[in-house]
Each structure stands twice: as C-alpha cells, then as structure tokens.
Amino acid sequence: MISYKEKIAEILAPQIEGLEKDEIMAMVETPADSKMGDYAFPCFKLAKILRKAPPLIAKSIAEGIAENAVFEKVESVNAYVNMFVSKADLAKAVVSEAVSKGADYGRSDIGAGRKVIVEYSSPNIAKPFHIGHIRSTVIGNSIYKLYDFLGYDVVRINHLGDYGTQFGKMICAYRRWGNKEDVIREPIKTLLSYYTKFHEEAEKDPSLEDEARAIFTKLEHGEPEETQLWQWFRDESLKEFNRVYDMLGITFDSYNGESFYSDRMPRFVNELREKGIMEEDNGANIVRLDEYNLPPALITKSDGSTLYITRDIAAAVYRKETYDFYKNIYVVASQQNLHFQQWIQIVEMLGYDWARSCVHIPFGLVSLEDGVMSTREGRVVFLEDVLNRAVEQTRQIIKEKNVNTENIEQTAKDVGIGAVIFNELSNYRIKDYVFSWDKVLNFEGETGPYVQYTHARACSILRNAGEDVVRKAHEEFDARYITGESAHSLIKLIYELPDVILEASEKYEPSIVTRHIVDIAQSFNKFYHDEHILVDNEDEKIAKVALVLAARNAIRNGLGLLGMNAPKKM
C-alpha cells in the first residue's frame, strides 16, 4: 500500500532546499483535528535555512504543490502546510488491501530470518496462579503475537519458578502437616495452605527455617526422596496452570524453569572467578558494579548456594547458544528492574557482545482493594476464579438479553475472558492498578465486549448483504461512494493499523493496539449510524459493504493480537 508520508516527502522535496527526503518525511505530521488536513508539514525548521518567516514559507510550498493529483486541497495556515489527500484514492487503496489480505491485513515480513524469545507468565510452582500473574501472562502473549505477526520466528518460554528455598519449606510443611489425597484433589490451594502454615509455625519455631534450608540443599544435590516430591509438586501445579492457559488460549514452546539451569551455573561462577570479575565478601561471592552506578550483585551466598542472578546468566547464555536469538525479551514486573540491570551488565562484562539484546519489559503491579497480595498470608485472588466468574456473568447477560448466538457457552467464554484480557491491556503496562471485580466485569464503555460487539455487528451486516454482494465487494467497488466524512475517518484509522502494530511491537506496548481498535470500533459505529449501508443502488451498496469488510478484518486482526476471539454473533 502507498505510504502517504513517503509520497508527500517526494512531492515536497523539490520545494525545499537543504533537507533530504527522509528528513522531510520525519517532519510530516498527522493532525489531531481532521479539519487541519490529513497531513501537515510545519515550516519552523526551514526559517533558518531559507531565511524567511515560516508563514511565508508555508504559503509558497502550498502554492507549489496545490495542483498535485494526490491532494484534494492544500492550504497554508500560519506556519503549516495542511494537505487533504484524495478521499477516493485513499479509500480505494486502503479498503482494497484490507479486504484482499483479510486475516493478513497488517502483517509484514520485517522480522523474517530473525529469532525472538519472549519469556512470560512464569508462575511459581506449588503457589497460586493469581490475578497478579495476569499481567506478565497476557502482556507477554500479546508481545509474542505482535512479533509473530511481523514475521519474526518467536519462541515462547514459560520460565517456571521451580527452584529455590521455598521448595525446602514446601516439602518440610508437607511432611509435617500434609497428606497425598488433599494435594491430588486440590493441588495449589492445598500446597498454599501448607506454605502459609509453615510461615505461621516458623514465627513460633525459627528452627523450621534451618530444616527447610537443609531440605533444599538435599534437593540441590539430587537426593531421590526430595527430588521425587519436588517433581510431583511441579507436575500437579502444571496441571492447574494449564487449565488457566487453556482458558486464555495460551501455549508455550518451552517450560524450562529455574531448575533446568541448576547444573549449568557452575560454569559461569568459574568464569566470573577466572576473569577476575567476582570477589569474595564475608564468605559470599559478589560482583561490584560501582562504575555502572549499580549496587554489588550477589552471585553465591556464604553457604555456596546460587541465586536468581546466577540462574538468569546461565539461562541467557543457554538461549543464545541454543536459539541464536536476535532479541531475548523478558516480561517481568518492574520490581525486578535492578535485578535485570545487574545481570545484563554482568553478561556484558563477561564479554558476551549480545548482552544488550536481552530486553527487560517491566510492568506495574496489581494490588487488592484491601492491600497488597501476599502468598505467605494466603491473601490472593485466583486467576482461574476471575476468568470463571467473568464467563458466568457473561452467560447470565446473554440469557437475560436473549443475545443472538448459536453457542452460548463459546460466546460467554469469548466475551467474558476477552473482557478480562482487554481490561488488562487497556492501560500502559507500566501503570500500577488496584484489582476491582466491578471494573473487570464492567462491559459498558470502551471495553472488550464493546469492540467484540462491533465486530459482530459488521458480520451481521455482511450476512444481510448476501454472499453475492460480499463476493462483488471482494472483486471491485467504486470508491467514490465511501468518501463521506464518517467513511473517510474510518478508512484513515484502518490505514493506520499496520503502523500501529509496528509501533506497539517497537515499544512493547499492546495498549497501543487496544486503544486503536477502540477508535476503529467507534468510527465504524458512527459510519453505521450516519450512512445507510444496504441501499438500493447496487454500486453504492457494494462499496459500503467493502468498507464493512475492511473494518471487520481490522477489528478481528487487532483483537487477535491481544489474544482475544472475535465472535460473529452477539
């Protein structure tokens, strides 16, 4: 499809001395107010070059390009050249491409031949998969989908928290207070109750902490009994986690967690020692990072046990050696900012020139209305409960409103779970927020159900138009019938979608797509309200149906990039 900014830069270049085409293209703006044109070019920067007042420069440029067929109108307003492109030409180009490409509209191959790793979700084994995990899970899944859509070869990794002293605590608690039947019946909630009880009892009897550490040391050394219990906890936890992943429609290519790297860490401890990067400090081993304005990084404790940093260094090198990644993306809470700064710096100090290809994508935290979530205290909201409640509430709404759907259960799932995902991806990822049942389950306003309903409305129009009209709309249409104000506004938003997808990937920010498809949905509904679509005039009807097809495809593709389904009936 034509790049209008590039085309405008080509048209402007002969009018402007001293600036290259790429510089001109970077200066072309898209006005927030459509009355100021589809595109605008500010002339302030040219004042020094041309030694003229910006308004005079704008006037001269406007007069010089006014007759170009790309534009319907060109005008100078103060220091700006405002350009209105040919509505019919834009409609023909955009709608034709959005209709013909269908599910591939917005897709590109810019990532061809490049491998990207996205690590996301990563819950702790034997602990609740709670509402706090939704952030990494759905943000990471959307980032994966964005990069996949742009042609990258993406590897999805769920770096399970399946190692560490908490497993010593869990095994200790299970042996003292647990039983096999309860764990089999309800694994996570039962293991959480043991974990909570351990901390309650450890406050009264601190020796339990020593017992737990001793158990974990046995686990590190591969003692059969401890290893067997750990493996059981891991397997049972994954069964529960996968129920939630199935509800969200999320899958992974690898579940290699912290334990996978346990035998790979000594290599890097030795490498740090041999290269003189690591030093001993009160029995522990540290790397000083003062020259990088970072505090020292603890590599091994005084008892020789390793930490997250050691495992993350081992994991990054393993991934580079295994996948030869172009980017290694970590979708992990902002609380871990320092941790990532430290270990990425250490990888660079070790001489790995790809260290800065490891990218930490932070996000804000979720808290409850009565305070911060605490696994130790058992104060959590299970993610599965949130999803089930959203589906149940949607099912009730469908029945009460007698919604037109052939499959109530599937629609309830698509819309209910979609509402939770959309709510999560509506705001900038870095923002903290308080979890509220009322907000998550509110389907009014700029929500997932609103966008999904708009998609269903477009599908309904296409069904009513009939197969013959839809077929003709795929083949040819007269773009002059879709040049009205509301149609033009909708077409511009559809045109922008590929750039929006690219921007969202570059900024690792799914909310950019979320907000844009809300804009498309609102614009489509205005077009639907302003114009009668299924008119008697056959040519006009075909053109308007083509625009409906284009809008439907844009909305469906946008929802897909968020990890949501687009029901055809609602």
Scanning 161-299, the segments in alpha helix (DSSP H) are 165-177, 180-185, 187-204, 207-220, 224-248, 265-274
CB contact at 8 A, 152 and 172 = no
The topology (CATH level 3) of 4-85 is: Gyrase A; domain 2 (3.30.1360)
pLDDT in tens, 88-103: 999 999 999 999 999 9
Annotated catalytic residue 159: no
pLDDT at 305: 74
Query: What topology is assigned to 389-562 in CATH?
Result: Isoleucyl-tRNA Synthetase; Domain 1 (1.10.730)
Task: Say yes or no to pLDDT of 435 above 90.
Answer: no
Task: Say how far apart CA 535 and CA 541 lie, in whole Å.
Answer: 6
Bigger pLDDT: 524 or 432? Answer: 524
Cα 130 to Cα 127, 187, 250, 308, 368, distances in angstroms: 9, 14, 16, 22, 11
Enter the tokens of residue 95: 């709608």
Angle between helix 485-507 and 87-101 (nearest 10): 60
pLDDT of amino acid 405: 82
The CB density around residue 1, as the number of other CB atoms within 10 Å, is 13
What per-residue confidence (pLDDT) applies to 376?
A: 57
Task: Identify the H or E element spanning 39.
Answer: strand 39-42
Burial class (CB in 10 A: 0-12, 13-18, 19+), 555: buried
pLDDT score for 221: 86
Percent of the chain with pLDDT over 90: 79
Instruction: Specify the higher pLDDT residue, 378 or 65.
Output: 65
Residue 377 pLDDT class (50, 70, 90 cuts): low
Residue 26: other Cβ atoms inside 10 A: 12
Please confirm, yes or no, whether 130 is among the known catalytic residues: yes
DSSP 472: H
What's the average model confidence in pLDDT over 133-143? 96
Who contacts 529 (Cβ-Cβ below 8 Å, separation ≥6)? 486
Q: Distance between CA atoms of 463 and 552, rounded to whole angstroms?
A: 13
* Token pair of 310 as six digits: 């050691």
Which residues are within 8 A (CB) of 532 and not within 5 positions of it... i.e. 6 or more apart?
Answer: none
pLDDT at 300 over 80: yes
Across 185-199, 344-358, 417-431, which has the greatest mean pLDDT? 344-358
Residue 94 CA to chain centroid, in angstroms? 26
pLDDT at 439 over 90: no
Report, as an integer, the average pLDDT of 272-294. 95
- Among the listed residues 92, 130, 455, 492, the single catalytic one is 130
DSSP string computed for 19-72: --HHHHHHH-B--SSGGG-SEEEE-TTHHHHHTS-HHHHHHHHHHHHTT-TTEE
**Which residue ranges does the chain devote to CATH 1.10.730.10?**
389-562
The percentage of the chain sitting over the pLDDT mark of 70, rounded to a whole number, equals: 98
Per-residue model confidence (pLDDT) at position 197:
93
pLDDT above 70 (res 291) = yes
The amino acid sitting at 535 is: V
Q: Give the HSE-up count for residue 226: Cα atoms under 13 Å, Cβ half-sphere.
A: 24
Residue 492 in this model has a pLDDT that exceeds 90: yes
- Cα–Cα distance for residue pair 339/329, rounded to 1 Å: 15
**pLDDT in the model for residue 440:** 73
User: 257: which 2 tokens?
Assistant: 């967690």
Interhelix angle 134-149/383-400, rounded to 10 degrees, is: 80
pLDDT of 381 > 90? The answer is no
Average pLDDT (104-120) is 98
Q: Are 546 and 95 in contact (CB under 8 A)?
A: yes
Residue 218 burial class via C-beta count within 10 angstroms: exposed 0-12, middle 13-18, buried 19 and up: middle
Alpha helices in 115-206 (DSSP H): 134-149, 165-177, 180-185, 187-204
Tell me the range of 366-380, 396-410, 556-570 where mean pLDDT is highest: 556-570
Q: What's the pLDDT score for residue 129?
A: 85
The enclosing H or E element of 81 equals strand 80-85
- Given a cut of 70, is residue 388 above it in pLDDT? yes
- Whether 28 contacts 10, CB under 8 Å: no
Q: What is the pLDDT of residue 181?
A: 92
For the purposes of burial, counting CB atoms within 10 Å of the CB of 204, is it exposed (0-12), middle (13-18) or buried (19 or more)?
Answer: exposed
Backbone angles phi, psi at 398, to 5 degrees: -60, -45
Q: What is the mean pLDDT of residues 115-121?
A: 98
In contact, 390 and 369? CB cutoff 8 Å:
no
Residue-wise pLDDT for 186-197, tens only, equals 888 898 889 889
Catalytic annotation, pick one of 59, 127, 488, 541: 127
H or E segment and range at residue 553:
helix 538-562
User: 59, 87, 92, 133: which is the annotated catalytic residue?
Assistant: 133
Q: Could you tell me where the DSSP H helices lie in 380-447?
A: 383-400, 408-424, 437-440
* Whether the model pTM is above 0.75: yes
pLDDT of residue 369: 72
Distance CA 541, CA 465 (A): 8
pLDDT for the residue 375: 58
Read off the tokens for 242.
Answer: 């996968």
User: Which runs of consecutive H residues, i.e. helices, occur in 249-375?
Assistant: 265-274, 308-323, 337-349
